Structure 1
Amino acid sequence: MTIARQLSIGGKDVPARTGRTTDVISPHTGVVFATVAAADASDVTAAVDAAAATFDDWSSLGPSARRAIFTKAAELLDSSTERAAQLMAGETGATFGWAVFNVTLAADIFREAAAAVTAPRGEVLTAQQEGVLGLAVREPVGVVAAFAPWNAPTILGARAIAAPLAAGNTLVLKASESAPLSSGLFLADLLHEAGLPPGVLGVITNDPVDAPQIAETLIADERVRAVNFTGSTAVGRIIGTLAAQHLKPAVLELGGKNSVIVLDDADIDYAVAAAVFAVCANSGQICMSAERLLVHESIAAEFTTKFATALAALPTGIPEDRATVVGPLVSTAAAARIAALVTDAVTKGAKVLAGGGDPNGAWYPPTLLTDVPPDAELYHAESFGPVCALTTFATDEEAITKANDTGNGLSAGLITENTTHGLRVARRLRTGIVHINDQSVADEPQAPFGGFRNSGYGRFGGRWGIEAFCNTRWVTIATEQAHFPG
C-alpha cells in the first residue's frame, strides 16, 4: 500500500499550496512506495513564517523542558526500529542491519542534543580594564535552513535537526527527494509526539525538478540565519555559494574519496574484515566509505586474495531478507553510473579482481580493482557504491602521498598493531577524520565530525555542532565607572 504524506508546517500536515505531489519509487521493486506533497517557493516561505514566529518562545523555553523533549524523542526512536527499517527499505533499499544502525545512532544524537541543552555555553574572559567583567556568550541565531540526504536518512536527518534545535534555534528541513519520510517526516512525527511545540520544526518535501528553487528560496529568506547541509560535493558547492551570497554561515559535510591504509605490521585477517565493512556497508553509499585500499607490498598478495574471497562471499539480496548484507543501490541509475566508472577504468588499464560487469537493475556486485590509472574517472570521483581500488606501497611516504592524492579529505583508516607508527602516519593525512587500527566508517554524536578541502567545512557533533549554530557575542559588565579622556 502506497504511503501518502503532506508537508509538516506549524506542527500540522498540510498539502502543497498548488496541490502537487511527487512519487518516491522503491529502487528494488520499481513501484511507487510513497506519494508526498511537492512544495514550491510559497510553501517554503510558509514554513519559515512558522519557524520565525515560534523562535522567541522556543529559544526562551526552560532548559529542562527542552531537554525532556529530546530525551523522549530518543526513547520513541529506540522503539521504532521496525518502522524505520520499513521506510528505509522502501525508499532507499537499505538493509535491516543498516536501518538498525541508523536508529541506534540517531537516538544517541537526540540524547547528545538533550545533554547539550544544559551544557555550559560561554566563557568568562580576561578583561584589559580593571573593574570590567568580560563574557563570551553563545546565543541561537534564529531560523536555520537544513538539508538532509538519503543515504543514512535517519542518522543524517537527526543530525540536521538536533544541534540547531538544542541551541535554541527553530528550523526548516528540506528532506531528501529520495527519502522524504525517513530523512524528515518520520523524525518530525517523533519529535512532535515527544512534545516539540508547533512551528519549531518544519519539513518540506519536493519534486526533484524543484530542488534548486526550494534551496534558493530557503537560503535567501532574510529570517534564515545559518545553513546546515550534508550531501554531495557538487550540490554542496551550490549550497555554499548561495549561503555566501547572502552572508550566512554554513556547515557543509560533503563527499569523500577515503582510504584505508594497511601497514606492514597489520593483522591481515582483521584488516580484511575491516576493509570489507568500509567498502560494502550500505552498499558503499556512505560518505566515509573506503574507495581506496593502500596495502604494504610485503602483505599485499595475501591481503588481496583474502579480500577478494570475502567480497564474493557477502550475502546479496533484497532488503526484506535480514540476512542480506549487500542490498540494492538507491536507483538503477546509480548502479549504471558505477558500472560506467568501472568500465572506463578497465578501458584505461585497470584490472578487475572481483565483481565488476554489468548491473542487475539496482544491484551492483562488490568490486575490487587494481592498477586504476590517474586518467580514469574512478581515480578521483566518488563512486558511492561497493567499489574500491587497491594499490600497494613500499614506504610510509608513498602511502601518505597516495592517500592525499585527492581533492577530498573526509575520513581515513589505518590498520596497524603499532599505534605509535599509526599516529605518525595519521598526522600527515589531510582529512577531517582518521581512525588508527580501524577502518574509515565511524560516527559518534559527541565527536567533531566533518571534512577538509572538497569534503566541506564546519563540524557537527558535541559542542562543535552547537557552536556552529550560535552567534557568539562579546558582553562586558563594568563594575565601576570608567574614566574617559577629555
Structure 2
Amino acid sequence: MVVNRELLIDGKDVPALSGRTAEDLNPFTGEVYATVAAAGPRDVTRAVDAADAAFARWAALAPFDRRAIFLKAADLLDDRRERAAGLMAGEAGATRPWAYFNVALAANILRESAAAITAPRGEVLSAQQEGTLGLAIREPLGVVAAFAPWNAPLILGVRAVAAPLAAGNTVVVKASEDAPIACGLFVADVLREAGLPDGVLNVVTNAREDAAETAEVLISDSRVRAVNFTGSTDVGRIVAARAAAHLKPAVLELGGKNAVIVLADADLDHAVDAAAFSVFLNSGQICMSGDRVLVHDSLAAEFTRRFTAKAATLRAGDPGDPHTVVGPLISASAAERVAALVEDAVARGATVLTGGGRPEGAVHPATVLTGVPKDAELHYAEAFGPVCVLDTFADDDTAVALANDTENGLTCGIITENATHGLAVARRVRTGIVHINDQSVADEPHAPFGGVKASGHGRFGGRWGIEAFSSTRWVTIATQRAHYPF
C-alpha cells in the first residue's frame, strides 16, 4: 500500500495549495513507496506564517514544560522503533540495524536537548560602572529554517530541529525529497504527539524539481532568522551564499573525505574490523564514512589481505535480509555515480582489489581500490557509497599529509595501541572530530559535532547546539543613579 502524506502547517495536515504531489520511491524495488504534497512558494510562506505566530508563546513557555515535551517525545520514538525501521527501509533502503541505531541516537538527542533546556545559560559580568549589574543572556532567534537529509533520516531529522526548538525557536523543516516522511513528517508526528504546540514545528515537502525554489523562498523570508543545513558540500555552498545574502547565520554540517589511519603498532584484527565498519556502514552513505584507509608500510600487506577478504564477504542487496550489510544506495543513479568513480579511477591506473563492476539497480558491492592517482575524481571526491581507497605511509609526516590532502575536514580515526602516539598524530590532523584507537564514524548527542574547512562550520550537541541557535544580549541593571556630565 502506498503511503500518502500532506504538509504539516500550524499543527494540521494540509495539501499543497496547488494540489500537486510528488512520488517517494523505494530505492531497492524502484516502486512508489509514498506520495507527499509538493509545496510551492505560497505553502512555504504559510509554514513561516505559522512558525512566526507561534514563536512568542513557545519562547515564553516554562523551560520545565518544554523539557517534558522533549522527554516524552524521546520515549515515544523508542516505542515506534519498528515503525521507524519500516519507514527507513521503504524510503532509504536502510538495513534494520542501521534503523535501530537511528532510533536510539535520535531519542538520545531529544533527551540531551531536554537537559540543555534547563541547563544554566548566560553569565554575570563584571560591570565597569559602579552599582551596575551586567548580564550576558542567551535568547532565541525566532524562526529557523532547517534542512533535513535522507541518509540518517531519524538522527539528522531530529538534529535539524532539536537544538533550535530547545533554544526556544520555532522551525520550518524542508524535508529531503528522498526520505520526506522519515526525516521530516515522522519526527514531527512524534513531537506533536508529545505535546508540541501547533505551529512550533512545520514541515514542507516538495517535488525534486522545486527543491531550489523551495529553499530560496524559505531562506529569503525576512522572518527566518537562521539556517540549519546538513547535506553535501556543493549544496551547502549554495545555502551558505543564500543565507549570507540575507545576513543570516547558518550552521552547516557538510561532506567529508575522511581517513582511517592505521599506525604501526595497531592490532590488526581490530584495525580491519574498525575500518570495515567505517567504510561500509549504511553502504558508505554517512558524512563520517572512511573513504580512505591509510596503513603503515609494515602492516600494509597483511592488512590489505585481511581487509579485502572481509570486504568480499559482505553481503549486498535486500535491506530486509538480516544478513545484508551493504544495502542499496538511495537510488540507481547514486549507484551509477559510484560505479563511474570506480571506473574512472581504474582507467587512470587504479587497481580494484574486490568489488567494482556494474551495480544492480541501486545496489553496489563493497569495493576496495588501491593505487588511485591524484587525477582520478575519486581521489578528492566524496564517494558516499561502499567504496574505499587503500594507501600506505612510511612515517607520521606522510600519514598526516595524506589525511589532510582534502578540502574537507570532518572526522578521522586513528588505530593505535599507543594513545600518546595517537594523540600526537591527532593534533596534526585538520578535522573537527578525531577518534584515537577507533574509526571515523561516531556520534554522541552531548559532544560538539561538526567539521572544519569545506566540511562546514558551527557545532551541534549539548550547549554548543543551544549557542548555535540563540543570540547573546548584554543587559545591565543600575542599582544606583548614574552621574551625567550634562
TM over 0.5: yes
- Give me the whole-angstrom Cα distance separating, in 2, the residues matched to 1:322 and 1:356: 23
The Cα shift of 1:113 comes to 1.1
The Cα shift of 1:379 comes to 0.2
- 1:109 maps to which residue? 109
SS of the equivalent of 2:298 reads coil
- 1:13 maps to which residue? 13
- 2:154 maps to which residue? 154
- Give me the whole-angstrom Cα distance separating, in 2, the residues matched to 1:271 and 1:409: 22
Deviations 1:136-169 (A, max 9, x none): 1000000000000000000000000100001100
- 1:312 maps to which residue? 312
Deviations 1:177-213 (A, max 9, x none): 0000000000111101000001000000000100111
RMSD: 0.7
- Give me the whole-angstrom Cα distance separating, in 2, the residues matched to 1:463 and 1:322: 38
Q: 1:370-449, aligned counterparts within 5 Å?
A: 370-449=370-449
- 1:202 maps to which residue? 202
Deviations 1:432-484 (A, max 9, x none): 00000000000011001011111001011110101110011111112222222
SS of the equivalent of 1:299 reads helix
The Cα shift of 1:323 comes to 2.3
CA contact (8 A) 2:285 2:384 kept: yes
SS of the equivalent of 2:138 reads strand
Q: 1:261-276, aligned counterparts within 5 Å?
A: 261-276=261-276
- Give me the whole-angstrom Cα distance separating, in 1, the residues matched to 2:125 and 2:75: 39
Q: 1:320-331, aligned counterparts within 5 Å?
A: 320-331=320-331
The Cα shift of 1:316 comes to 2.2
- Give me the whole-angstrom Cα distance separating, in 2, the residues matched to 1:26 and 1:220: 32
- 2:71 maps to which residue? 71
Q: 1:172-187, aligned counterparts within 5 Å?
A: 172-187=172-187
Amino acid corresponding to residue 50 of structure 1 in structure 2: A
Q: 1:23-34, aligned counterparts within 5 Å?
A: 23-34=23-34
CA contact (8 A) 2:257 2:380 kept: yes
CA contact (8 A) 2:316 2:366 kept: no
Amino acid corresponding to residue 387 of structure 2 in structure 1: V
Residue 278 (1) aligns with residue 275 (2):
no
- Give me the whole-angstrom Cα distance separating, in 2, the residues matched to 1:382 and 1:355: 18
The Cα shift of 1:320 comes to 1.3
- Give me the whole-angstrom Cα distance separating, in 2, the residues matched to 1:324 and 1:463: 38
Amino acid corresponding to residue 107 of structure 1 in structure 2: A
- Give me the whole-angstrom Cα distance separating, in 1, the residues matched to 2:138 and 2:344: 51
Residue 228 (1) aligns with residue 206 (2):
no
- Give me the whole-angstrom Cα distance separating, in 1, the residues matched to 2:76 and 2:368: 40
- 1:474 maps to which residue? 474
Residue 291 (1) aligns with residue 291 (2):
yes
SS of the equivalent of 1:475 reads strand
TM (norm. structure 2) is 0.99
CA contact (8 A) 2:316 2:364 kept: no
CA contact (8 A) 2:315 2:323 kept: yes
CA contact (8 A) 2:411 2:433 kept: yes
Q: How many pairs are equivalent?
A: 486
- Give me the whole-angstrom Cα distance separating, in 1, the residues matched to 2:315 and 2:350: 26
- Give me the whole-angstrom Cα distance separating, in 1, the residues matched to 2:278 and 2:196: 36
Taking only the aligned residue pairs, the percentage that are identical comes to 69
The Cα shift of 1:325 comes to 1.2
The Cα shift of 1:129 comes to 2.2
CA contact (8 A) 2:365 2:386 kept: yes
- Give me the whole-angstrom Cα distance separating, in 2, the residues matched to 1:183 and 1:244: 26
The Cα shift of 1:78 comes to 0.3
TM (norm. structure 1) is 0.99
Amino acid corresponding to residue 418 of structure 1 in structure 2: N
CA contact (8 A) 2:92 2:178 kept: yes
SS of the equivalent of 2:409 reads coil
SS of the equivalent of 2:454 reads helix
SS of the equivalent of 1:298 reads helix
Amino acid corresponding to residue 340 of structure 1 in structure 2: A
Amino acid corresponding to residue 100 of structure 1 in structure 2: Y
- 2:484 maps to which residue? 484
Amino acid corresponding to residue 184 of structure 1 in structure 2: G
- 1:134 maps to which residue? 134
- Give me the whole-angstrom Cα distance separating, in 2, the residues matched to 1:18 and 1:366: 43
CA contact (8 A) 2:150 2:176 kept: yes
Amino acid corresponding to residue 419 of structure 2 in structure 1: T
- Give me the whole-angstrom Cα distance separating, in 2, the residues matched to 1:299 and 1:344: 28
Amino acid corresponding to residue 440 of structure 1 in structure 2: S
- Give me the whole-angstrom Cα distance separating, in 2, the residues matched to 1:361 and 1:22: 21
Q: Which runs of 4+ in 1 moved over 6 A?
A: none
Deviations 1:81-124 (A, max 9, x none): 11111111111100001000000000001101111110111011
The Cα shift of 1:127 comes to 1.8
- 2:42 maps to which residue? 42
SS of the equivalent of 2:144 reads strand
Amino acid corresponding to residue 238 of structure 1 in structure 2: I
SS of the equivalent of 1:389 reads strand
SS of the equivalent of 1:121 reads coil
The Cα shift of 1:360 comes to 1.1
The Cα shift of 1:176 comes to 0.5
- Give me the whole-angstrom Cα distance separating, in 2, the residues matched to 1:305 and 1:128: 68
The Cα shift of 1:130 comes to 2.2
The Cα shift of 1:227 comes to 0.3
CA contact (8 A) 2:54 2:200 kept: yes
- Give me the whole-angstrom Cα distance separating, in 2, the residues matched to 1:339 and 1:323: 23
Amino acid corresponding to residue 117 of structure 1 in structure 2: I
- Give me the whole-angstrom Cα distance separating, in 1, the residues matched to 2:295 and 2:53: 56
- Give me the whole-angstrom Cα distance separating, in 2, the residues matched to 1:355 and 1:431: 29
- Give me the whole-angstrom Cα distance separating, in 2, the residues matched to 1:299 and 1:128: 62
- Give me the whole-angstrom Cα distance separating, in 2, the residues matched to 1:123 and 1:429: 34
Q: 1:244-263, aligned counterparts within 5 Å?
A: 244-263=244-263
Amino acid corresponding to residue 125 of structure 2 in structure 1: L
SS of the equivalent of 1:368 reads strand
CA contact (8 A) 2:140 2:169 kept: yes
SS of the equivalent of 1:443 reads coil
- 1:100 maps to which residue? 100
Amino acid corresponding to residue 129 of structure 1 in structure 2: Q
- 2:120 maps to which residue? 120
Unpaired runs of 5+ residues, structure 2, are none
Q: 1:338-377, aligned counterparts within 5 Å?
A: 338-377=338-377
